[in-house]
Amino acid sequence: MSKNTVTAKKINGIEAYFKHIFGLMAGAVGVTALTVFIMIVSGAWTSLLSANGGLSATYYVITFGGLILAIWTQARIFSMKPSTAGWLLFLYSVLIGFGLTPMILASNGLSILLAIIIATIMFICMSLFGYKTVKDLSFLGICLFMGMIGLIIVGLVSLFLPLGPTFSTIVCLIGVLIFALFSAYDMQTLKNAYKYVNNETQSKQLAVLGALHMYISFIAMFEYLLGLMNRE
């Protein structure tokens, strides 16, 4: 087999790999949007609110359940069938749809549209940067992970102690920055990881994991951008 043939196969392989990743991610985003739509149209969103107008226990169970599901899926993904991992991704996207519904209801249509557009542009630009750059972005890993943990802790604290508008704005800006950088970091990591794929099953498992990571980054950017716009 010639060197050109091997190179062509690698190029075709990685193209199919990334098509799989972004196909799954797009499907997950679509499922989330459909879930929000169904929740609003059916009136089921009322189950996410308590009698005093705050968020209900159901909302918190779904939110924390989604977080646990995402962590468990990432930890176990290489020991399960790709189809099972795919279904877990879509289950997670449904739970995210439930969690997003109150925020969507509290926002106006223009803010939602702008948040989607800006998040999409940022996601595409940062993903392309991560794919094309020759600079090693691995140094960002621990910093971004610690930043994400910090955002989760702040989110938990805000459930009991209301944050001031200035602090909330700063948190949203940091959140957008962290997940924009995550898009680039994950893209480069997924590109490099493909070199070590030994078979089709591993490729599909890694594609689902990549779709989950990219989906989380996109949705998080959208949420933080929408949070910024709701404070204007």
**pLDDT over 60 at 7, yes or no:** no
**pLDDT over 50 at 167, yes or no:** yes
pTM flag (> 0.95): no
Do 178 and 144 touch, CB atoms closer than 8 A?
yes
For residue 11, what pLDDT band results from cuts at 50, 70 and 90?
A: low
Q: What is the mean pLDDT of residues 2-12?
A: 51
How distant is the alpha carbon of residue 154 from its chain centre? Answer: 18
**pLDDT over 70 at 125, yes or no:** yes
Q: What is the mean pLDDT of residues 126-143?
A: 93
Please identify which residue in the block is written with the tokens 């951008």. Answer: 225
The whole-number pLDDT of residue 188 equals 95
Q: What is the mean pLDDT of residues 177-188?
A: 96
Do 221 and 180 touch, CB atoms closer than 8 A?
yes
